[in-house]
């Protein structure tokens, strides 16, 4: 079990239409609930099931932009939904988004890759896809707890091979 496994769920669903990742585990600072991740992805149209320790998600017709309201701030869920929304059809608004430096850095990376994101560094993020391109020649600020920019880069590389 990998504690950051759920962070590739959003980009994989958005790019591939389906994904299966293990539930997170192995975190030294405690459990990592994924309810906000799943709620946010469901708001974008993902069908999600939990099966034998795995999150199985599908969006056969792709993800659709929508309004996602987090009841509490979550850095991981903001990362996940932001990456998924960058490839969703239409506009997504994320309310009560985390504002940590890692979120800002990821948002700037997604913009460099073709996403349109407004409200970077604020608790309300709005955006959608402008034109997708891959730009991995950019240093990213690593999330000290999750290192999800590395996970996102891995998803991009996998998607290029698909």
For 6, how many CA atoms within 13 A lie in the half-sphere containing its CB?
29
pLDDT for position 53: 87
Query: How many angstroms separate the Cα of 124 from the Cα of each of 68, 94, 160?
Result: 10, 6, 30
Instruction: Mark whether 27 is an active-site residue.
Output: yes
The residue from 2, 16, 23, 27 that is catalytic is 27
In DSSP terms, 57 is beta-bridged to 19, 48
Query: Would the pLDDT of 143 be above 90?
Result: no
Tell me the pLDDT tens digit for each residue of 71-120: 999 999 999 999 999 999 999 999 999 999 989 999 988 888 888 999 99
By CB atoms closer than 10 A (0-12, 13-18, 19+), residue 92 is buried
Collapse the DSSP code of 74 into the 3-class scheme (helix H, G, I; strand E, B; otherwise coil) and give the result: coil
pLDDT for position 145: 46
Tell me the pLDDT tens digit for each residue of 8-46: 999 999 999 999 998 886 555 555 689 999 999 999 999
pLDDT for position 12: 93
By CB atoms closer than 10 A (0-12, 13-18, 19+), residue 14 is buried
Q: How far apart are CA 72 and CA 22, in angstroms?
A: 24
Which band of pLDDT confidence, cut at 50, 70 and 90, is reported for residue 3? low
């Amino acid at each position: 079990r990998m504690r950051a496994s759920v962070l590739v769920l959003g980009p994989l669903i958005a790019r591939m239409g389906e994904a299966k990742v293990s539930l997170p585990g192995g975190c030294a600072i405690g459990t990592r609930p994924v309810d906000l991740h799943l709620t946010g992805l469901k708001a974008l149209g993902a069908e999600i099931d939990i099966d034998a320790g795995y999150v199985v998600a599908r969006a056969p017709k792709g993800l659709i932009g929508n309004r996602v309201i987090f009841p509490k701030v979550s850095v991981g869920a903001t990362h996940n939904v932001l990456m998924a929304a960058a490839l969703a059809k239409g506009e997504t608004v994320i309310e009560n988004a985390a504002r940590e430096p890692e979120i800002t850095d990821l948002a700037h990376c997604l913009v460099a890759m073709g996403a349109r994101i407004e409200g970077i560094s604020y608790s309300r993020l709005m955006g959608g896809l402008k034109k997708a391109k891959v730009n991995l020649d950019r240093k990213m600020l690593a999330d000290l707890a999750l290192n999800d920019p590395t996970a996102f880069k891995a998803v991009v590389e996998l998607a290029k091979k698909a």
